[in-house]
Structure formats: C-alpha cells, structure tokens
C-alpha cells in the first residue's frame, strides 16, 4: 500500500470532472498530520486506509467534496485532539464537514443490548442517507477496503465484521444498485463465514470452466460477427457466474451445481434502447431460447434502478448461457447504481435523484414503526433472495412486487388510502380473495368502499412487503390506540402468567416501564401501543420479560406489616366520579378491571390501583397484593379510594368468585357440589379437585356471584354438603 496520493491524482486527472486538486492535496496533508504515528492491525501506516478509500470513491466518479471527505473520514473519530468538525468546516467548507460529520456519526456507540445497538446504528445510517447519499457511498468504500484487509484481524472479529457486511452492507450496496461493490463484499464475506462452502463452489467452477474454457470465446466471436454484419456498434464481454451467486443458489435455493443454467453469461452493450431489442431478436435467431428464462428489466426496472434484457439460450454445444443486453448508460447504472448519477449528471441538484431516494424515506418510516432489525432491513433485501412479480393496474401501469405478494400488498403499493379502504379484489376481471398471491402479467383491480372500517390485524401476517406492513401499522397506531393498549395488556399478562409468579400490579408496571425504556420509549402506554399495532413482537421480547420478572422476584421484598396499620395511606382525592360498577375518587370515564388475585365482589371493601397500561385495577382492601403495594414508597401514591356504585348491588352482573373446599373423599362429592350449585342457579366457571393420601380432597371452585351477600349464600349451601368440612373464599 502507498502512503502518498500520486495514484489518486493520476486517476482524477484522467476523469472528465473538474476536480479541485489543491483542495484534495490539502485534505491529504491534513489527514497525514492527524494520523501520524497511527498504524493499522497489519502494521501499515494508518494513512494508507483513507488513501485507499479515496481511490475507491474516485473510481465511482464522485466529486471533490466526496474525495476530501474520504481522506478525512476517520480524523474526527481517531484524532480528536487534532481534528474537530469545526476545524474541518473552517479548512474545507460546509459540504465536506457535513459529509465527515455524517460518517463520524455512523461509528457504533455502546448499548446495553445488541438488538438495541443494531436498531440505533441502522437508524443513524438511514438518516445519514436521507440527508446526503454520498455519506453511504463513502461508507461502502470504507467497508470494502476494511474487508480487503480483514485477514489481519483475529478470527472472531473477522466473522463479526463479515456477518455485518453480509447482512447490512452488501444488501445496502445492492439496493443502491452498486453491483460491483456488492459482489466483492459478498465474495469477501463468504470466505470468512463459510470457507468450506466457498472452496467447494470454487472447485466446481474451476472444474466446469476447465472442461469448456473455449466455449465463451467461441460464443462471443459468433455473436460479434453477426452484429458486425448488421452494422451495430457494440461492446461485448463474457464472464463466469460469481462464486457467491452460485453458492447462494445452491445453498439457499437447494439447487445442485448442474441446475445453475446461467453459469456462463455474455453481456452486450449498445448505444440505444431500440438496439437492445434488435440485438435480442438476433440472439434468438442464432440460438434456441429456454422457455420462461426471458426477463425485460428495461420496460420494468428492478427496485434498485437496474435495467437490462435477460435471456437464456442453448449454445451449439448444448451448453446453456445467459445473454444480458443493455445500453452504456444502463451499464453504468448496473455497475455503480446511484453513484452513476454523478457520472451522467454533473452535480447533485436534480429532482430525479430525489425520486430515486424515495425508498430511503420508506425505510425511515418503517424504522419508526418497527423495532425489529429484520423488519427494518427488509426493504434493503427485496429481490436479493427472491424474484419479482410484475402486475398491471387497469390503466396499464406496472407495479413491481416481490414474489409471494398478495392483493393487499398491491393495494398499499398504489396508495395507503386504497389499502385502508380495500374491500375486494379483481384479477383479470374476476373477483378474487384479497389475500390471493399475485402472478406476473395479471391485471389487478382493488375494490374500495367509503364505509370500510379499515384494515384487519390479520393482514399483518398475510402481506409480504415492508411497505404494506408499515402502512397497516400506521393506521392502527393512529386510529386504534386504546384498542392496541388493551390487546397488548392482555398479551403482556398472558406472557407473565407463563412464569407462575404472584406479581402485584405495581411490580407488573415496573416490569412494563423497564421494558419500555429499554426500547427507547418513556411511557408504558406508548410501549403497549407499539406492541398492539405490531412494532414490537411479544414473542421476540419474551427473554427480556423473563429477565425483568427474575429481577423483580429475586430483589427481596420485606414482609408486609398488618394492613390495619397502613390503610390510611390510600390516596384521598376530592371529587367522586362514577366509573361503571365502581366509584373512583377524582377519575372520570376510566377503564376499570377486577384483579384476579382477589376477585372483589359488590359488598367488599375495595381499593383501586392506577396502572400504567390498563386503567384502574380494583382489589379487595385486605388483598395481600394491595397490602404489599401500599408499603412500596414508589407506588403507594397510585392507590386511590374506590367504592361500589349504588347500582352494582341491584345489577344482575356476575363476578368471578373463588372458593376453596376441603372434604373427605367420596364418590358422589363432585356430583353433590354440582347439584347444590345447580339448585341455587349458580354458574360454575371452573372446578378442579385433587385427592391426597390422607383421604382429604381439595377442590378449587370458581363461580359467578352477584355480590358478597349472594356469595355468602353459596358458601352456606356448600357447607351443608355431606363430607364437606371446610369452605373458604379464595384459592389453595
């Protein structure tokens, strides 16, 4: 590696751009001073790295500011005593300093949780992209050089960096259309992630190419002669499919090496789009085409702007090969993606660039609605591991969707308002279910209705695209907040029940708030809302919930003092407002639920607890959880005075009441209990019995009771049953 910029300046001098050589030299000299005395893991002077990154940036035909930022990209991070953003702004101007600042902010920051760190770094990356796409071009060049020199790191670090490259940076390069960088990143990463698989595929390629090494040359010569006869100006090149492309098809798609039909490929580059189709006709005249292997990415470009004609034909030796046909500008975009914009458009002030970056805004929106890294990254990976489906609107517009996309995906691809009002679907004029998986070439029409109640939550499990999921979540977030919170609270309670811990409401709320803060959310309600509309999956955070439960239950809580001594600590509020069957002082229209730990009945002395996720939880005054909760200094102020409304005693509403029965073993015992309750017209909600070796049967019974008076009548009747010797309220 070299420690000067002679080669870089030579590259730039051959370019058509008007580079500011003095500014570039000045940036190099400043970087050289900053990195003086610093060395890479390989032992080379550190300055070799920013020079190499600047050369890669120059190969993309980027501008002076980008090359200066590449030379300076590590100065602020690694040389804080010599370089700051303010110094760089003063020396090289606002544009360079903003690029360096964007690159500096992409450096990983420490987090308590790896998933949290991953989400935050993705957020910073997409934010930087939305402000100036050149930040990511430089970052990709930085990552490419780091991958080229990865051998100097120890094995664990190699695998960690290679894995991040494969999951984030290669898909990012792909989504930006930068195929040359994407392919090299994949190839380098594969060598560290699966060296055995890499060597196996490489060996297959060498053996197959060795047997047919003259095949490509002969095919190219024949095509070239035919095109010359037609007086078409062209460029032609042949290639063997890359190791990673074959690896991906063999291992991800479970194909054998012999099933890789596009092992050989010939690329033909012409001047005009019309000539592309002319050449296609000539190729199909010369060779037999393979059915189902033609794709027109010119009329329907890929999401990353890739445009080309693809066809697979059979050579004269019976060997299949792929032919790609494109113009020179299409070729530049295929190789360099969005970076080619600087080659064909001198500068960045172009509305077309904004249009090409719309997908970044979609990712940013998805990132805000989802806290799942896989979900955030999904828009990057579209069409890497799956083919596209092209369908048409009734007006003939082409809609590009991933394989497996449904009618719902199609509706949201048109507009969120269309998806939200969707009530039906027509495919080729025929009514079809809205979850029908679409196929290329179909004409699809969405049926909408102004009276539609909006999307269904089940749609989130059906749709394929991140865009559709994001728009559905946005609707539920906006329109169904209370419902989201209620559903999520139920899911959260159900998850806590798995751990068989007798948690107080205060402890549950502590767990909930801790989880919220770990996700960067300050309010328990907002956290439950995020679960409710699908941004956070309960199943994915289950390990974190268990961790919080373990913390709470092992922290050691003092034995509660007698309740009589602390009843007066219940919060007193001035105004009394009615809330359904109970009256809560100071609160109006508040959702109340009855705590399952004690199941209060009308007539019981009760107290309310203000939860952070699901309204007021009503407990009996002497409930052990209420006793314990009132002792806790952090939660005692959230207990409020509650009482039954005058209508509750007259209502026919049934409340769950638990009964513990102890009796001597008897064949007719359960039958006698059932008959007694039937005589009283009491609903049995559940009944479980267990017989002990001592001849005593324990029965846990849940019934529907209207009030304490009604419940006491039930208890009296049960006590008169033969063999029953004890009946109490509560569970064993």
Active site residues: 77-78
Distance of alpha carbon 182 from alpha carbon 208, whole angstroms: 25
Distance of alpha carbon 283 from alpha carbon 364, whole angstroms: 43
Q: How many CB atoms lie within 10 A of CB 637?
A: 13
Task: Give the position of tokens 């002395």.
Answer: 605
Identify whether the C-beta of residue 218 lies closer than 8 Å to the C-beta of residue 207. Answer: no
What is 300-337 written as a DSSP string?
Answer: S--TT----EEEEEE-TTS-EEEEEEEEHHHHHHHHHG
Identify whether the C-beta of residue 161 lies closer than 8 Å to the C-beta of residue 132. Answer: no
Residues 6+ apart with CB under 8 A from 344: 329, 332
**Bridge partners, residue 732, by sequence:** none
Alpha carbon separation from 722 to 673, 682, 700 (Å, rounded): 10, 19, 17
Task: Give the position of tokens 């209370």.
Answer: 482
DSSP classification of residue 224 = H
Task: Give the position of tokens 């207990």.
Answer: 639
Residues 6+ apart with CB under 8 A from 544: 515, 518
Sign (positive or negative) of CA dihedral 308, 328, 239, 60 = negative
Q: Degrees (nearest 5) of the Cα angle 308, 169, 339?
A: 50
Cα Rg, the chain, nearest whole Å? 35
Specify burial of residue 679 (Cβ count, 10 A radius: 0-12, 13-18, 19+).
exposed
Task: Give the position of tokens 């402890």.
Answer: 507
**Bridge partners, residue 268, by sequence:** 236, 325
What is 672-712 written as a DSSP string?
Answer: HHHHHHHHTTPPEEEEEEEE-TTSEEEEEEEEEESSHHHHH
Distance of alpha carbon 68 from alpha carbon 91, whole angstroms: 11
Distance of alpha carbon 107 from alpha carbon 493, whole angstroms: 39
């Amino acid at each position: 590696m070299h420690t000067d910029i002679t080669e870089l300046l030579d590259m730039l001098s051959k370019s058509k751009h008007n580079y500011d050589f003095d500014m570039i030299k000045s940036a190099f000299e400043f970087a050289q001073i900053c990195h003086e005395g610093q060395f890479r893991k390989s032992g080379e002077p550190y300055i070799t790295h920013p020079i190499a990154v600047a050369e890669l940036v120059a190969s993309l035909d980027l501008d002076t500011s980008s090359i200066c930022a590449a030379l300076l990209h590590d100065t602020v991070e690694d040389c804080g005593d010599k370089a700051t953003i303010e110094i760089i702004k003063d020396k090289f101007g606002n544009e360079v300093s903003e690029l360096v600042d964007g690159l500096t902010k992409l450096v990983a920051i420490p987090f308590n949780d790896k998933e949290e760190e991953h989400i935050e770094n993705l957020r910073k990356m997409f934010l930087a992209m939305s402000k100036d796409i050149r930040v990511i071009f430089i970052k990709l060049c930085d990552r490419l050089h780091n991958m080229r020199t990865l051998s100097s790191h120890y094995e664990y670090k190699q695998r960690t960096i290679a894995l991040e490259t494969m999951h984030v940076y290669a898909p990012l390069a792909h989504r930006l259309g930068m195929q040359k960088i994407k392919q090299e990143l994949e190839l380098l990463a594969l060598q560290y992630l699966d060296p055995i698989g890499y060597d196996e595929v490489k060996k297959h390629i060498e053996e197959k190419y060795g047997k047919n090494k003259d095949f490509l040359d002969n095919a190219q010569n024949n095509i070239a002669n035919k095109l010359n006869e037609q007086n078409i100006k062209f460029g032609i090149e042949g290639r063997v499919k890359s190791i990673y492309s074959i690896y991906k098809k063999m291992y991800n798609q479970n194909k054998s090496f012999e099933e890789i039909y596009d092992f050989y490929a010939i690329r033909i580059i012409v001047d005009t789009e019309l000539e592309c189709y002319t050449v296609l006709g000539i190729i199909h005249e010369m060779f037999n085409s393979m059915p189902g292997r033609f794709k027109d990415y010119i009329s329907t470009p890929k999401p990353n702007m890739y445009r080309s004609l693809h066809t697979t034909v059979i050579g004269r030796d019976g060997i299949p090969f792929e032919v790609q046909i494109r113009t020179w500008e299409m070729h530049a975009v295929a190789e360099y993606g969005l970076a080619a914009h600087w080659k064909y458009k001198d500068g960045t002030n172009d509305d077309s660039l904004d249009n090409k970056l719309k997908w970044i805004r979609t990712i940013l929106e998805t990132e805000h609605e989802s806290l799942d890294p896989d979900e955030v990254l999904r828009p990057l990976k579209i069409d890497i591991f799956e083919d596209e489906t092209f369908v048409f609107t009734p007006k003939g517009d082409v809609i590009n969707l991933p394989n497996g996309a449904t009618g719902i995906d199609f509706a949201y691809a048109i507009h969120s308002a269309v998806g939200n009002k969707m009530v039906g679907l027509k495919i080729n004029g025929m009514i079809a279910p809205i979850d029908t998986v679409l196929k290329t070439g179909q004409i699809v029409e969405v049926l909408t209705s102004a009276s539609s109640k909006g999307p269904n939550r089940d749609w989130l499990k059906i749709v394929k695209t991140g865009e559709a999921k994001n728009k559905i979540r946005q609707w539920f977030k906006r329109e169904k907040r209370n419902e989201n919170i209620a559903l999520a609270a139920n899911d959260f309670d159900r998850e806590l029940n798995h751990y068989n811990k007798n948690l107080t409401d205060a402890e549950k709320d502590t767990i909930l708030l801790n989880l919220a803060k770990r996700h960067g959310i300050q309010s328990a309600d907002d956290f439950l809302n995020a679960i409710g509309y699908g941004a956070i999956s309960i199943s994915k955070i289950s390990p974190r919930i268990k961790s919080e439960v373990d913390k709470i239950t092992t922290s050691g809580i003092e034995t509660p003092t007698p309740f009589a001594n602390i009843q007066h600590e219940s919060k007193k509020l001035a105004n009394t407002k009615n809330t359904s069957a109970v009256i809560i002082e100071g609160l109006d229209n508040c959702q109340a639920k009855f705590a399952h730990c004690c199941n209060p009945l009308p007539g019981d002395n009760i107290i309310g607890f203000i939860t952070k996720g699901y309204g007021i939880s009503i407990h009996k005054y002497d409930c052990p959880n209420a006793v314990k909760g009132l002792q806790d200094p952090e939660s005692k102020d959230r207990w409020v005075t509650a009482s039954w409304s005058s209508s509750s005693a007259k209502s026919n509403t049934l409340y769950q009441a638990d009964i513990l029965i102890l009796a001597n073993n008897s064949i007719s015992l359960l039958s006698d209990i059932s008959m007694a309750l039937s005589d009283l017209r009491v609903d049995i909600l559940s009944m479980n019995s267990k017989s002990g070796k001592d001849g005593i049967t324990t029965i846990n019974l849940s019934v529907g009771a209207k009030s304490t008076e009604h419940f006491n009548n039930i208890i009296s009747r049960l006590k008169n049953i033969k063999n029953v010797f004890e009946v109490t309220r509560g569970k064993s």
